[in-house]
A and B are shown apart, each in its own frame.
Chain A
Amino acid sequence: MIKKVYFFVFVISFQLSLGQEIEFGKVTKEELLEDVYAPDKSANAAILFQQQKTYFNSTYGANELITEIHKRIKIYNGDGFDYATEVINLFRAGSSAEVARKIKAYTFNIENGKVKKTELEKDQIFKSKLSYNYNQVKLTMPNVKEGSVIDIKYQKRSPFIWSIDEFVFQYDIPIKKLEAEIRTPKGFRFNTTNKGHITFFPKRSTKTDNRLGMQVVINKYFLNNVPALKEESYVDNINNYRAGVMFELVSVEFPGYFKSYSQTWKDVAKTIGSSDDYKNQLDKTNSFDDELDDLISGKTDQVEKMKVIFKYIKDNLKWNGIDGKYFFNGIRKTLKEKKGNVADINLTLVAMLRYAGIDSNPVILSTKDNVIPFFPTVDRLNYVIAYAVINEKKYFLDATEEFSDINLLPVKDYNWKGIYIDNNKLIWKQIDISSPEQAVAQYSINANLNEDGEINGKLSARYTKHNALEFRKEYKDQDEESFIASKEKSLDNIEISNYTVKNTDSYEGFVAESFEYYQENGADFVDGKIYIQPLSFLSLEENPFKLEERKFPVDFGYPFAKKYMVSIAFPEGYTVESTPEPVRLKIPNDLGELKYIPRVTEKNIQLIFTFDIKKPRIMTDNYLFLKQFFNQMIIKCKEQIVLTKA
């Protein structure tokens, strides 16, 4: 391993010393004549060169974080034209705003054997207010053809000097050569964390910056031939796998001054815990009304109290769709307006649980859509849930989602770990969030096959945990008639009658569903024989995993199992001719299990079928097992029982 690293560094520096300087506005004929990107011929466009320099600047007492960008993009064909458009998003908060300056860009083409240069005019640069906290600058290059090379450079100047944007080193088109540099004053210590699948290391040095009049630390990154990043299905968040560097301020130190931010997760927890929201607000109870007292009065069991408070919050407070670990409204206003962001709702929950005497604290996390926090960070945590311990049992609660329950969080919450903040007991640490329990869908079928090949039957199903949550959402999303119609369609167009469903309004317990059905083509009658697929319309027909190999882990969100019990009575006078082989199969490391047990009695065809995935995430080294596992399920679904007329 170590050897490999040295070798890598060696290669990089070797290339460096040979590599020629790439100058803005000077493009070689070779670059223009190149008609395909050799390492990846499917690329419609490629970044030939990207250079980024980020540093601090101080003029007239105003501090700025400046990022200089130079990008050289090659367009190989018409499908790459989109990369001739550059979009720069600029953050804005109150009266402070990032700005894009010194935008300069050229398109280069070969015309009659000569290099032709077309400049982007100022009036082709469009600025707009995108939303309340973003401005946007957009431009598209003139005279772009297949084969064009584009050179773009600009400066992004930011007054938000403590939040350095992630350096992005990978896009959906390949990068040929990339150089990135960040200079930070020596007193400001930034934690830097690499992410993605590509190995790279910064070259680190220090020097005196004359403009700032202080020592700066320089980190330089050099990457070559970064492949394009392509989406796959069942990926938690593709950005977790995108190459890049994240920065987080850990301490500020000058002679006579020291302030530490977040060097460890404990520091992170402390930093958040010492904010006013967490330090002082969670024990303020004067805005709670009598209704709460009525709810908990007389109850002695803490679990019961927790349940009524959870329900009270869910019934009364509405999430406004905005994430956040700090209050948007604060408890008082949240209760008055009956809505708020994630922190408003879940911290109010914490406060009420505490008020009821329950040992409850907030747990901060980053949701799946917000990437995994690979290193101790305050900024990249976007969410907070409530946590309670009663009789040493742990409870995680998120009251923002209509159908979530205690220890049944929205899937997005199950992203790595959480940060536990207990100011009272002086405990600040990283903790595990209990992984979701297995969701089980259980189907039982009792049916009759007649001589015309039609089946009349009854299906009862039960859904637990996240299956129940999803069922409830889907059911609520449409009227029952449409719900049944789409069910019929997804179940091979059986005709459903006497549909009943229980417990869809609640968020607790399981959902029970039952209906009668008529199936026109229940079995094939051919030459005195009956051919029947016992699982029929519940069969899995398509493998969700089609790729031969996968780059990223499969994320199902939660473990799940499907269990089927089928019994179909067949017409008199038939006996069994052949029955599919029973099968029992496992994915290595007990990740999954499949059981298929058919049986034919005098009157009935019976099947017990279980399909069990025991982990929410399957790593790439088990991908082929997983694919094969689904494949076996499909094969078994297709197999037929053959009956013959006696």
Chain B
Amino acid sequence: MVLKPIVNIMLLLATLTAFSQDDLYSSLTIPDDLKKGANAVVRLNEMHVVIESQNKILISLDRVVTVFNEKGNQHLQAGVGYDNHIKVKKIEAVIFDENGEVLKKKKKRDFIDYSAVDGGTLYSDSRVLFLGYTPINYPYTVKFSYEVESVNTAAIPTWRPINSYFLSVEKDSFILNDQANLGLRSKEISFDEFQVKKSTSSNTLSYTISNVPPIKPEDLSPSLNSITPYAMVAVEKFHFNGVDGHAKNWNEFGNWIRNSLLKGRNEVTEKTKQQILDLVKGIDNPIEKAKKVYEFVQNNTRYISVQVGIGGVQPIAALEVDNLKYGDCKGLTNYTQSLLSIAGVKSYYTVVEAGKEIIDFDTDFASLEQGNHIILGIPNNDEMIWLDCTSQIHPFGFIGDFTDDRKVLVIKQDYSEILKTINYPDSINYQFTKADIKLSVDGSINSEVTIKTKGVQYDNRFYIERKSKKDIDEYYKEYWGNVNNLEINDYSFENDKEDVEFTEKIKSRAQNYGSINGDRLIFAPNAFNKNSFIPNRYRNRKLPVEIQRGYLDEDSFSYTIPNEYVIESLPENVSIKNKFGEYFIEFIQDGNKILYNRKLKILKGKYPKLEYDLYRNFRKKISKMDNYKIILKKL
């Protein structure tokens, strides 16, 4: 409902235009409201999907995009992925100038063919055919089309017509025909808000969206994907890279993964088996056993991703991980599960959409497209302990902000289901900074700082203990960029994996921290946790506000001031509490000492767009007060 206001604006702006195909190639025919604020316009994106049999699906696309400037080039999306199971039968493009005159025609052999391996992957058989074109003038238009034949009826493309900021859509349609009657299922989201036209039958689907002006990104807004329309489509009887399947809900889907992808892949060597048995000998508590096994996996494996054929969804066998001592998320999770079962500990292979942004599985629509990572769940009474088996350094049961607080598919022996992973509440994402600071006559400070972090804040910091001296030095100089001239004299760390708490102790010195102005020495008491984040100002905020994770910072800094000075003025104490969080500072004078206490709590929450300015004002106040100065005067 939060969305309504935006949509109304869009409806006002949208105008209906009738056009012939040829009109699309000239950029002169684009309605003004689609041009304003857009880097490119999708004139037409028409996808036809025909399912001929359980292992034959034909996908064809006609896409016409007009690009207005350099930034719009990325929206051409004139490429297609393929591998051994996906054949590109046709691919071509025609490039038109502003007036719709043909500039160039590109055949299949003109497309660039390269490996679609990302940085984290050792090898993948995925490849991409991509149009390489240097535009000579803007605007220009590209008509791009392809036909692809694939065996993967489990991977029907998700329809997501508005997938970028600064991109408007003149017309986008999706037409599907399930000729094989495999049991078509679909789920449509945010269709009404964007007036998507839809018609369906038991084996056909058709969606059309028209005249959507571009959306501009705004700070602290929900992700574009969560507010724009999309449709997920699947068939009950499907096929993926050589494996058949059948599922209409998550339980059946979980069964398919268990029986077709995981089954029989849990053997390990006799030697490893014995090692595990020795490791857990004498331990009764399953969680204590699991800790030992997790530590074993962390110490003996590493993350390497190799994706070949069905390997995109099927783990390499535990035995192979045992020999190679590496695997990807699937392989390492399956391996850990195998070892846990040797130790007599039950655990669940769990599919998740990982990333800092929280993305849920759809509870009532099962499909292969959802999820990009695998973790392991260990039942512990009524709750679940989650393990990320790809990390060699995370504490047992701590998954940080990579997979927290989201709906995931848990594959069980009897009944697979959607569950939610652990949520780290605001007050658990905690940081406490304590500092003893000696201020000298010349304005320099000598400080001993202790920082303790927990929860997601732990996740953001504990990795630094593994860095080199030079990097650590630089890390603190960046972190305390507000302290000019900082020198790090000494540091030590303590990583308490049991309680998931990280402690940093840093000794530092900074010349000229306080500024000398005639008889006065002026300094900012918040030396070591200054928060100057203020989100952008928008004259006309369009999107709602979302803060996905909250946190709590507490600080206690004690300043010893030089004998030659007295306090002339201390800022006032402040205490603010509102729906977004809390901010509190106090100044306590005690002889030649000043104690500065501070608390900042930001809550997780969703707010309508009208409240954006309130939140921004709150952050502005915090930024201002974090910059308060204490003024000392010479005796």
Residues of A within 8 A of B (CB): 42, 77-79, 81, 84-85, 124, 126, 128-132, 136, 138, 140, 142-146, 230, 317-321, 337-339, 476-477, 479, 481-482, 485-486, 488-489, 493, 495, 520-521, 524, 526-527, 531, 541-543, 546-548, 577-580, 631, 634-635, 638-642
Contacts and interface: CB of A to CB of B under 8 A. Distances in A.
A144 B326 contact: yes
B122 A140 contact: yes
B134 A493 contact: no
A578 B534 contact: no
Interface stretch (B84-92, B107-115, B231-239, B243-251): B107-115
A338 B115 contact: no
Contacts of A319: 134
Given A78-B302, A488-B537, A42 B115 contact: no
A230 B470 contact: yes
The residue in A520, A521, A635 that gathers the most chain B C-beta atoms within 10 A of its C-beta is A635
Given A128-B123, A143-B325, A578-B517, A42 B469 contact: yes
Interface in B456-494: 466, 468-470, 473-474, 477-478, 481-482, 484-487
B512 interface: yes
B23 interface: no
Contacts of B137: 318, 338
B282 interface: no
B474 to A, nearest CB: 6
Given A143-B325, A493-B620, A638-B515, A526 B631 contact: yes
Nearest to A485: B536
B343 to A, nearest CB: 21
B258 interface: no
Contact of A488 (B468, B473, B512, B536): B536
B255 to A, nearest CB: 31
A486 B538 CA distance: 11
A174 B568 CA distance: 55
A327 to B, nearest CB: 16
B522 A640 contact: yes
Nearest to A546: B477
B520 A138 contact: no
B517 A640 contact: yes
If over half of A's interface residues share one DSSP class (helix, strand or loop), that class is named, otherwise mixed; here it is: mixed
A522 to B, nearest CB: 12
A321 B123 CA distance: 28
Contacts of A77: 466
Given A521-B624, A635-B512, A485 B134 contact: no
B469 A143 contact: no
Interface of B: 37, 69, 71, 112-115, 117, 122-123, 134-137, 216, 299-300, 302, 304, 306, 323-326, 392-393, 466, 468-470, 473-474, 477-478, 481-482, 484-487, 512, 515-520, 522, 534, 536-539, 568-569, 620, 623-624, 627, 629, 631
23 contacts: A42-B470, A77-B466, A78-B392, A78-B393, A85-B122, A85-B304, A131-B112, A132-B112, A140-B304, A143-B324, A320-B134, A337-B136, A338-B136, A339-B134, A481-B539, A486-B536, A489-B537, A493-B620, A546-B477, A579-B518, A638-B484, A638-B515, A641-B517
Given A477-B71, A639-B516, A640-B522, 7 more contacts: A81-B302, A128-B117, A143-B325, A145-B299, A145-B325, A321-B134, A489-B536
A240 to B, nearest CB: 20
B296 to A, nearest CB: 12
B200 to A, nearest CB: 39
A132 B114 CA distance: 8
A555 to B, nearest CB: 19
A317 B136 CA distance: 7
B348 to A, nearest CB: 27
Contacts of B515: 635, 638-640
Given A81-B302, A485-B536, A527-B568, A138 B123 contact: yes
A495 B517 CA distance: 29
A579 B477 CA distance: 30
A199 to B, nearest CB: 23
B288 to A, nearest CB: 24
B113 A129 contact: yes
B522 A485 contact: no
A140 B536 contact: no
Contact of B485 (A128, A543, A578, A640): A543
Contacts of A132: 112-114
B538 A485 contact: yes
A542 B112 CA distance: 44
Nearest to B323: A142
A524 B517 CA distance: 14
B85 to A, nearest CB: 17
A142 B326 contact: yes
A128 B71 CA distance: 31
A126 B122 contact: yes
